[in-house]
Structure 1
């Protein structure tokens, strides 16, 4: 079948049952062949984590004259699979992301957003867990954003969105899980492929894969290289609203950044027996980054007459190395779905950054330098180790009863050093600033056990689960010999009830409890400066935030596609929020605080379409967010409405030529201390297939109308500030 992908096969038993190992949740097409009968195709077969055993009903076969052949079962995975527990989006059918990075892939996925700083959010919430191949990424914050921005899109197989996971999954991330699945498939024998891409900004994207499968051994390796040169621009306008403050401050920003990365994903599977498999996976990433920014400031009086000028420049270099190794064991039982699996995972991540800041006062007339510049250097070094041991056991207790249980233990250790030095004319050297330099160690242990019971009753599929966790954290500020310990235990229940109206329609209700633990960047009380007027400072008293997530769902499959409607509600206690204050000297300080509660409720509508030469998918997400910040000294309570929409459409111009367009719009939204402006992004692509489906050439234009901007308004009653950042357009070929 054209555009099909074989994901599994097997022989039927005497009673007509058959088993296919390794299927992920999704919608499949099943094809049955038997000696002396015409092939039978059954589409729209939904496999879910809650119901991995499917009853296909009676499959009538038509007798025909045929030569001797064997019974085979093949399956075709849809480009978009909308399932009750997760939605999956295949990257192969995203030419608009071809030649880009994992960030470009995520921006094509409904309900997922990635801003200009590469922060991932789901349904407008940044507290989302990003997984790689079903495992939580050890990187967080800026390090995670840099990794995603430098991971070639051609190494990604698909993206899975799980908005309300069960107790089997880690409870971190109040918004849910975004799982990036890397390519790991190997055809029989020796196989391979390569991708070469380039862009108008100087982007270079190279990737290649090699696979080997024979007998019990399967080997696969995928390598990617990416570099880019991008420019950005922006402005800030600040007005002092109280007496004694600078009336007006304006700035124009220009900059450029050049990321470079090497990525490796390798796996090996060996079948020790018919039902026993030993596997290992290695993921590595080497990242380098250079960034330059210039901020030209103008100080104005109440009549907007120029009273002062200055130029603040920053030059940053950074590099990082991440190695992640997993050794796994899996034993399946005779009964389909039963088995025991265990894995041991080791991760080491190192990130080093050096920034040189210069603050130069300028003449208000000619703009020439006035006096010597104030120069300082900031150097950050972070080393993280993660060890994880996990076991999972599944046992079928009846025809529609299943028990899943397991244990997961995680140990995370982080060492961080931050050194600040200022140039001294007296000594003609850099002198360490002991008041701002700091170092800390952070240790975190998490021990968790879970049990999930699934039961089918008539047209109902029910699931209930409970996860128990014991957490111990230690945050040691070596600079001040101060230590913060936090030990706590938590229970995380989950429940799912699905009602199958018929083979194509399903109703669902689900609940789960989630947690978001503060990371070290949010806890570190020592300030880090972007420049003399912008300071970032953590809060060591920050507490974890707990979320109770509720969802309803209706899904219906048609002959031409699928539609899914998902109303949701979330209640969060101790919600973490960015809080920005500006002092009398005009210095802006950003930190974190726990607000009392935050409630959000809304709905997602997602769909896929197959209409002749036209295929596509898209979604709309709308929600209302109500924050109770009355517990803080400055009340930041807020009520806001947000929504976003995106669509991805592909038209087959010819049998081998595709045209694809992608459009995303995020509406403006009020925040706790201001307003976030609207954002629009567009990608266009043409893909020419060569040699069937074995090769292709893709031309992609990113943001052709130059509309991708990030804008913010901050209003704390003393200052009113507007800011905007813009990213340049780019064309690429791969």
Structure 2
């Protein structure tokens, strides 16, 4: 139905033009009210209110409702015929109303018009990107690009969001993003891997919140991404089933079903996938001695196949205890089994680039994961509209087992066993005060414990058995207990809105190396203020200004000192002494709507103290590279090359300044063509240095002062071809960016998709190609005193998918009118969207 948004806005623009023809000296009054759907009592956003002068029918004015279904329209005093319209609903009309003073029309209920539903030709589908005042909403169901994909594919299509080849998610170029699922933090140990397991067909929409208020968790200096899963809300029994086949191997089946009656709503989602994500990388390195002379070259070539078979399911029931109280309980389960055979070839050259030989390293990795979660949500609504109390609780257990057998000059085995327990409780209270003010308060307790048992064993030729390597083996425990309280107050005065909030979080962090009886505890508490201001310039434009303070706590691999053995000359190692980073964020935004065009733009600046920075340095250790140049199984002494082992890992730096601007636009030049695009430019300035003692007992100072600029752009086009075939294409470009120890090169990638409705629109067949040019890679250059390297890393090669979606008892473009109850939702910030 939201495809009619542009038509409504066009209509409103045109009628507003006529309204200017009225006498400028006429008395101005305001008419307000609320429009709801009669059967569910849910508000109807974008309903149209038309005022037609009885005396002069050519004079017409009007407006549209906001996300709460409310309207507040200024008209000249006089006699009017008033119509309230919404596509597929019967029009409500008030004839001959004499409006001489401010008037409240009250709550107006609209009922479904079955005749209109049968005769409508235009699709009432939600636009792929909806631009709100305080966030942007990406509707997954209308995007053919992600059919058969995962949540990572979904996020890579969201405006302002990018996902690199390693699966790291960034918002406006900032990787410090808090990812929520249905308003709750992901319960996965490795969020990046979890996002690649959840099928895209299970996602309803994604909310992008660049500067959250005090009601939200303070974690994530870059902002929040809230992934909302599908939950049936339509009356009766209905559902959707999607099957997918693809190359490289991608088999998937996902189903969503629900049954709703007056007293309860039962829903379930089941999914199965069997995927192979082949990847590859190259790293060409040149090594130098202390005088800067070249000693040797190594060209590293890596190929791997990420094989993953996954099952996921969720079952839930919403019980309507009475007209004001509902209680929802959900149980979710996910299991995955996979392997990652990883082969690395090291091509060795001397100082003159003469070929010496090749060494092979093979890592046969298998992994198993299992996750179970129970969540409960209670909503109590009081008499006054918007007055409610919510209570949420969830508990989860996550298990990940990764086992590897590494074949190299010296064979090794690794076992990475992880267990995570997470418990979350939250309560929120919202109290409207008067007509335009609101008070909120709440509590949140988040208690997480992760235990990692990492065991490395190296084969001993003398004893002819594997022995534990104490350098890499340990038992690591991470505890994070956070208690938080918040309060905020907002109000709207004419066209001006404000929202002030304050959050307090007490953090109790434990970083424990149990195998070495080394226990560390960090206890700190912080205040996180927020302030938001909005001014409604007109019904078509708004300006906002916001401030918030955010935190980023180091976790997981950032803290664990266990080395990563995927390469024995380039090793990643965590830093258990990392402190949290604190960010002050300011955002200035502007929204403007025209007849066929919507523009959202913002400028932002962030100041972060103790920011994390990844550095590379020599470890003081060397790897003896035994290469048989003559292939006679006899390695001469002069064929042994000593290669310095390079360590990389995070440290705290002093300060980072980040500022930039972006714009997002929606444009519908014709009914059959929709365009949306996003552009983001940012500049990072880092000030800091790192000092350490190298293996020769010499002090080394690494100056990490760096100024880097970057930008990325994305454009998406959707065209309806003859025979009602939809054609969608998009392209993304990430510009080059300088880093403290090198630079990342620019990358262009593109996707396309085609879809066609069949079986009288009960089913849709879709074909898509992800990464058409096979160009989505991380390309970087590193420049250190002892080594210079060039690398390309491709996590997954080009993917081709074919999917079929079948709907039963559910029209394709039916608008699901769900309660606007996402955890942490601030409504629309007291103003119109």
TM-score, normalization: structure 1? 0.90
Which secondary structure state, in structure 1, belongs to the residue aligned with residue 154 of structure 2? helix
**Corresponding residue for 2:347?**
298
2:387 corresponds, among 319, 334, 338, to 338
Report if aligned partners of 2:667, 2:675 keep a CA contact under 8 Å in 1: yes
Q: Distance in 2 between matches of 1:152 and 1:733?
A: 14
Task: Answer yes or no: is 1:701 the counterpart of 2:701.
Answer: no
Greater RCO (Cα-Cα under 8 Å, separation 6 or more): 2
**Corresponding residue for 1:403?**
439
Q: Distance in 2 between matches of 1:648 and 1:471?
A: 42
Q: Distance in 2 between matches of 1:718 and 1:207?
A: 51
CA RMSD of aligned residues (A): 2.9
1:664 corresponds, among 732, 737, 741, to 732
Deviations 1:171-218 (A, max 9, x none): 101100111111112321111221111112121121011110011201
In the alignment, structure 1 segments of 5+ residues that lack a partner are 6-13, 360-372
Give the alignment of 1:632-647 within 5 angstroms: 632=691, 633-647=701-715
How many residues of Structure 1 are paired with residues of Structure 2 in the alignment? 702
Which secondary structure state, in structure 2, belongs to the residue aligned with residue 704 of structure 1? coil
Distance verdict in 2 for CA 1:68–1:551, change over 3 Å: closer
Give the alignment of 1:418-433 within 5 angstroms: 418-433=454-469
Task: Answer yes or no: is 1:61 the counterpart of 2:79.
Answer: no
1:729 corresponds, among 798, 816, 819, to 798
Q: Distance in 2 between matches of 1:503 and 1:61?
A: 19
**Corresponding residue for 2:668?**
610
Task: Answer yes or no: is 1:249 the counterpart of 2:307.
Answer: no
Give the alignment of 1:258-337 within 5 angstroms: 258-337=307-386
**Corresponding residue for 2:830?**
none
The Cα of 1:429 is off from its aligned counterpart by 2.9
Report if aligned partners of 1:46, 1:83 keep a CA contact under 8 Å in 2: no
Distance verdict in 2 for CA 1:301–1:56, change over 3 Å: same
**Corresponding residue for 1:369?**
none
Q: Distance in 1 between matches of 2:457 and 2:266?
A: 49
The Cα of 1:4 is off from its aligned counterpart by 7.9
**Corresponding residue for 2:193?**
146
Query: Which range moves more in the overlay, 540-549 or 76-85?
Result: 76-85
**Corresponding residue for 1:47?**
67
Task: Answer yes or no: is 1:601 the counterpart of 2:650.
Answer: no
Report if aligned partners of 2:393, 2:424 keep a CA contact under 8 Å in 1: yes
Deviations 1:120-143 (A, max 9, x none): 111111110111111111335xx2
1:679 corresponds, among 722, 732, 747, to 747
The Cα of 1:41 is off from its aligned counterpart by 12
Which secondary structure state, in structure 2, belongs to the residue aligned with residue 531 of structure 1? coil
**Corresponding residue for 2:650?**
592
The Cα of 1:71 is off from its aligned counterpart by 4.1
Report if aligned partners of 2:34, 2:70 keep a CA contact under 8 Å in 1: no
**Corresponding residue for 1:524?**
560
Distance verdict in 2 for CA 1:16–1:485, change over 3 Å: closer
Larger radius of gyration between Structure 1 and Structure 2? 2
Which secondary structure state, in structure 2, belongs to the residue aligned with residue 479 of structure 1? helix
Task: Answer yes or no: is 1:84 the counterpart of 2:133.
Answer: yes
Distance verdict in 2 for CA 1:247–1:408, change over 3 Å: same
Task: Answer yes or no: is 1:393 the counterpart of 2:429.
Answer: yes
Report if aligned partners of 1:28, 1:78 keep a CA contact under 8 Å in 2: no
In the alignment, structure 2 segments of 5+ residues that lack a partner are 6-30, 55-59, 94-107, 113-123, 623-643, 692-700, 804-833
Q: Distance in 1 between matches of 2:179 and 2:34?
A: 37
Report if aligned partners of 1:648, 1:662 keep a CA contact under 8 Å in 2: yes
TM-score, normalization: structure 2? 0.80
**Corresponding residue for 2:110?**
72
The Cα of 1:283 is off from its aligned counterpart by 2.7
The Cα of 1:559 is off from its aligned counterpart by 2.3
**Corresponding residue for 2:580?**
544
Which secondary structure state, in structure 2, belongs to the residue aligned with residue 530 of structure 1? coil
Q: Distance in 1 between matches of 2:359 and 2:35?
A: 74
Distance verdict in 2 for CA 1:165–1:536, change over 3 Å: same
**Corresponding residue for 1:181?**
228
Which secondary structure state, in structure 1, belongs to the residue aligned with residue 558 of structure 2? helix
Which secondary structure state, in structure 2, belongs to the residue aligned with residue 266 of structure 1? strand
Query: Which range moves more in the overlay, 119-128 or 244-253?
Result: 244-253
